[in-house]
Amino acid sequence: MNNKIFGYVRVSSKDQNEARQIETMKREGIDERDTYIDKASGKNFDRPKYQLLKQMVREGDTVIFDSITRMGRNMNETMNEYDWFVEKNVQLRFIKEPMINTSNEQEDIMKQAIQKIILTLLTAFAEKERDEIRTRQAEGIAIAQTKGIKFGRPVIDLSEEWKPLYDRWKTKQITAVQFMTKIGMSKATFYRKVKEYEESNKLN
């Protein structure tokens, strides 16, 4: 049975584009069906395609990553995952950090030690970078909030205007469209809020 080469691609969120990494895998001659893509944080390894990849690899296979950061950004867990592949005799190749690529050949003990040190440093930097990104994001959100910028779904305030409008709508004095327009809600939000209001007031 021929050994296979797999590619793994990861971006941190659904908003990021994985195209560059996919092109890298194509240049390495990896079949598209053998490239596994996750859109998830590198903080842990609870990623569906990564876990599927681990189920697919066999002894002698090779997995290619664009960078160690695409494998993970948690130092201890990333090093454990690296060792898992080594123990399974699955070769690892990192395009940007070839010095930590693994090999089937018996390597000198000093070379292994140096490689381990480099891996430790790279994964530590990856985790530190992730923490710094999270800190900058939190600081940016805090600054934006002080300027009145809100994040997430807007909270609908059922103000004093709601009940009289609701009563007029229920007695057919105004239409649902007029009600929505006056309170500034979309149709979906309007009927959801009506349901919540009626349930909370036991008006069903």
* pLDDT more than 70, % of the chain: 82
Burial 56-73 (b: 16+ CB within 10 A, else e): ebeeebbbbbbebbbbbb
Residues 113, 43, 22, 7, CA torsion sign: positive
Which residue segment(s) compose the domain that 107 sits in? 5-129
Rg for the chain, CA atoms, rounded: 27
In a domain, 32, yes or no: yes
Q: At 118, which CATH number?
A: 3.40.50.1390
Do 124 and 193 fall within a single domain?
no
In a domain, 56, yes or no: yes
Choose the final residue of a domain: 107, 129, 151. Answer: 129
Do 112 and 168 fall within a single domain?
no
Please give the pLDDT value at position 155.
45
Please give the pLDDT value at position 196.
81
In a domain, 84, yes or no: yes
Question: H/E element holding 113?
Answer: helix 109-146
pTM above 0.95, yes or no: no
Of residues 2 and 153, which shows the higher confidence score?
2
Tally of domains in the chain: 2
Nearest CA to 161 out of 149, 144, 178, 136 is that of 178
In a domain, 153, yes or no: no
Take residue 184 and report the two structure tokens written for it: 């500034």
Please give the pLDDT value at position 126.
83
Q: Rounded mean pLDDT of 13-18? A: 78
Q: Does the structure show a pLDDT above 80 at 172?
A: yes
Residues marked as catalytic: 12
Do 44 and 93 fall within a single domain?
yes
How far, in Å, are 128, 167, 199, 204 from residue 159 at the CA level?
46, 14, 17, 21
Do 100 and 180 fall within a single domain?
no
Nearest CA to 119 out of 87, 144, 94, 155 is that of 94
Integer Cα distance of 74 and 6 in angstroms: 22
How do residues 35-68 score in pLDDT, each as one tens digit? 999 999 888 899 999 999 999 999 999 999 999 9
Do 26 and 87 fall within a single domain?
yes
Do 117 and 48 fall within a single domain?
yes
Do 171 and 124 fall within a single domain?
no
Q: Does the structure show a pLDDT above 90 at 143?
A: no
Nearest CA to 149 out of 157, 140, 158 is that of 140
Of residues 147 and 47, which shows the higher confidence score?
47
Of residues 65 and 149, which shows the higher confidence score?
65
Q: Does the structure show a pLDDT above 50 at 153?
A: no
In a domain, 143, yes or no: no
Do 110 and 184 fall within a single domain?
no
DSSP state of 32: G
Of residues 129 and 144, which shows the higher confidence score?
129
In a domain, 123, yes or no: yes
Do 105 and 170 fall within a single domain?
no
In a domain, 139, yes or no: no
Q: Does the structure show a pLDDT above 90 at 178?
A: no
Do 96 and 168 fall within a single domain?
no
